[in-house]
Structure 1
Amino acid sequence: MDLKTIKEEARKKFNNFCRVCVVCDGRACAGEVPGMGGTGTGESFKQNVRALSDIRLNLRVVHDVLEPDTSINLFGINLLTPIMGAPITNASLNCGGGLTEFELVSSLVKGCHDAGSLGWIGDPAIPSMFTDGLEAIKLATRGVAIIKPRVDQGEIIRRFEDAIQAGAIAVGIDIDGAGLVTMKLKGQAVGPKNISKIRELVNSVSVPFVVKGIMTPDEAVACFDAGANAIVVSNHGGRVLDFTPGVAEVLPKIIKAVGKDAIVLADGGVRSGVDALKLIALGAKGVLVGRPLITGAFGAMSEGVKFIIEKYTQELYAAMILTGCKSIKDIDSRIIFEK
């Protein structure tokens, strides 16, 4: 198996919903939502990729780092890599239907698990698709479930309970989905959550709680004050609000506000292991990958997802040697070139 073959097979199944570009940067699919693109002009999606691309690294080779350790412990689970699969849903609406929902989500979660990583599932407006995600977690024996910020708190909590029963090691909400019209059209209105509502959700579960979709320091602090165990810095892949900054741009300010010990993950524009290294150097404890893993799934199911995660991890490993980092904890801002 190789990346070229995976991409060729994926291109056949995408029905032009994704062009499988040489660089997945949002230019070819701008405005294609539903679809794989970014909302409006696509600038939020494109800026995620650009912001990472603009970061330069210090090459360091006078040291004794021969075999760096890429492993992390997250939510009490030992992972071989800090590179995980982002929550992804709706194979038919967004990806052209070349795979069924269960084929897509099970490939994502199983592929991540087989690579020693962790797959996350999402929560679309169609209940059966969430059920598919739960079944994928059961098969992989672990995962993280992220629920839409429904106005009805009880609906969220019921989904938490189902996810934990299925084997989710952590749950949370993707609060950046607060303006999704598709949810409202399906009779499942979503909206923002204040501190008290987040705290209610945190207190409803006994597993780690994650708030995904944070892009400002003040809201990051607010989430941790409400009891969240982790946050994910994310603009929903550029799919909800046009003209946001890139994740790599806001991450350092968020880390400064919440402290280096806080569990802050980053999701936005990761296209290589070097991109993962950059986000970790900016303060993230781990990263989530979205669109490239969809290509992996469409190209070779779980084996394709496993291939991408392992490829990125190998790139991270090599980059750690060339920047003098013995472990993930050793990766910090000293490897970033300051102009």
Structure 2
Amino acid sequence: MQQSELPKCASKPKLTSIPSDITCVADYEALAKDYIDTPVYEYIAGGSGNEQSLRANIEAFQSVQLVNRLLVDCSAGTTATQLLGQSFRHPVLLAPVAYQKLVHPLGELETARAAEALDTCMVTSTLSSCTLEEIAQAHQGNRWFQLYFQVDRAHTLDLVRRAEAAGYSALMVTLDASIQASNRRAKRAGFQFPTAVRPENLQRYQPPQQVTLSTDQSVIFQGAMAEAPGWSDLEWLLANTSLPVLVKGVLHPNDAKQLAAMGVSGVVVSNHGGRALDGVPSAVHVLPQIRAALGKDVTVLADGGVRSGYDVFKLLALGADAVMVGRPLLYGLAVAGALGVAHILRMLRDELEVCMALTGCPTLQEIDRQCLWHSEQETNQHAHRD
């Protein structure tokens, strides 16, 4: 694909109704290959390194089993919840996914339409291919803004002020992707960004000057990491906004505790969808430790590999207050625009409600580790710790 070209998906007609044989997220993922140019699909579906973390995100859910309960009255059941003092119809959020015009000519505006229709919180990416202001106009419900620190603090502050002015009600700061890890699958497919798809939120800012390195300096340590944010940058941000701040990319309990001590309102347990450091564990594996480290008072979200409402339920049972989905929204967007994204959200919600009803949990507050099956060894270990 030449860099000046648009992805083929930009002109391919989308479905205007949902065929009856699309019954789950996996169906959209399979069908999306016919609606997305191959290099773009490989960029979206691929992960970093050997894709160990990408695979682990999916496989980890298979190791978690549910326990059904009998004769529980769920006639007054609800998925309503509170996050950061805000009311939500359900605990499924749309993750901050960049460059959505790669799969649809209207990009994030179509996703915003779906979020509006399904009462879903949309987290808008700093690297969105529509401006945060345009997206806010298309979605009047709960909306948060995902922030990447810019090299120039003035640019970071301007992004924050724009998000505040546009009515975003929380900031989600991504801190686990200071270096762009190699997506080998995209490279092999010859992926290049088309010039028509760009980070619209950053167009008003001058790009940072390129760092000149000597021959004995590292392009990683003295290059990319020289511009990476530090703890002082997060302290500065917390002092310069009244919005609640969540930090995305938390995998270590000690980091979680330090963030909470600094005044962060919440964390997102995430390995960046297997697109950052390869070989790290999935949210499924570390979420219980993060929740134990933070207690009940700090908001905890999780993402990575979620492909069904059953996966959503499992993350809630392991300690999450809410769950985000990323790649599935792109698959739905590619196939059927806003209709496809809305259908995926509807299926996730329906499957979550099925899990709640059959495990005897009419409300989200009743979902906990007692809803999961544990081996005799795990049960003895828990008893010993207690």
Q: What TM-score bracket applies, with the shorter chain setting the length? A: 0.7 to 0.9
Tell whether 2:270 aligns with 1:270: no
Q: Figure out how many residues of one structure are paired with residues of the other and give that number.
A: 314
With normalisation by structure 1, the TM-score equals 0.85
Equivalent of residue 104 in structure 2, options 85, 89, 99: 99
Q: 1:177, CA displacement in angstroms?
A: 1.8
2:251·2:286 contact (CA, 8 Å) conserved in 1? Answer: yes
Aligned equivalent of 2:285 = 249
Q: 1:211, CA displacement in angstroms?
A: 0.8
1:34-183 equivalences under 5 Å are: 34-91=43-100, 97-100=102-105, 103-124=106-127, 129=128, 131-141=130-140, 142-180=142-180
2:251·2:271 contact (CA, 8 Å) conserved in 1? Answer: yes
User: Cα–Cα, structure 1 residues 61 and 17, in superposed 2: closer, same or farther, change >3 Å?
Assistant: farther
Identity of aligned residues (%): 30
Aligned equivalent of 1:26 = none
Aligned equivalent of 2:246 = 210
Aligned equivalent of 1:300 = 336
Q: 1:273, CA displacement in angstroms?
A: 0.6
The structure 1 segments of at least 4 consecutive aligned residues displaced by more than 6 Å after TM superposition are none
Aligned equivalents of 1:2, 1:199: Cα separation in 2: 50
- Residue 108 of structure 1 aligns with an amino acid whose one-letter code is T
1:211 aligned counterpart, secondary structure? strand
1:12 aligned counterpart, secondary structure? coil
Tell whether 2:274 aligns with 1:238: yes
Q: 1:281, CA displacement in angstroms?
A: 0.4
User: Cα–Cα, structure 1 residues 323 and 266, in superposed 2: closer, same or farther, change >3 Å?
Assistant: same
User: Cα–Cα, structure 1 residues 48 and 181, in superposed 2: closer, same or farther, change >3 Å?
Assistant: closer
Deviations 1:129-155 (A, max 9, x none): 465343112220241111113343332
Aligned-CA RMSD value: 2.3
1:61·1:322 contact (CA, 8 Å) conserved in 2? Answer: yes
2:137 aligned counterpart, secondary structure? helix
1:71·1:79 contact (CA, 8 Å) conserved in 2? Answer: yes
Deviations 1:67-108 (A, max 9, x none): 42111122333221101100011246xxxx3423xx221222
- Residue 111 of structure 1 aligns with an amino acid whose one-letter code is A
Aligned equivalent of 1:15 = 37
Aligned equivalents of 1:249, 1:277: Cα separation in 2: 15
1:106·1:133 contact (CA, 8 Å) conserved in 2? Answer: no
Aligned equivalents of 2:181, 2:274: Cα separation in 1: 16
- Residue 361 of structure 2 aligns with an amino acid whose one-letter code is C
Deviations 1:247-278 (A, max 9, x none): 11000000000112210000111111110000
Aligned equivalent of 2:382 = none
Q: 1:215, CA displacement in angstroms?
A: 0.8
Aligned equivalents of 2:250, 2:58: Cα separation in 1: 18
2:181·2:277 contact (CA, 8 Å) conserved in 1? Answer: no
Structure 1 stretches of 5 or more lacking a match?
Answer: 20-31
Structure 2 stretches of 5 or more lacking a match?
Answer: 1-17, 183-198, 200-206, 210-223, 376-386
1:232 aligned counterpart, secondary structure? strand
Deviations 1:226-247 (A, max 9, x none): 1111111111111011111111
Aligned equivalents of 2:176, 2:133: Cα separation in 1: 22
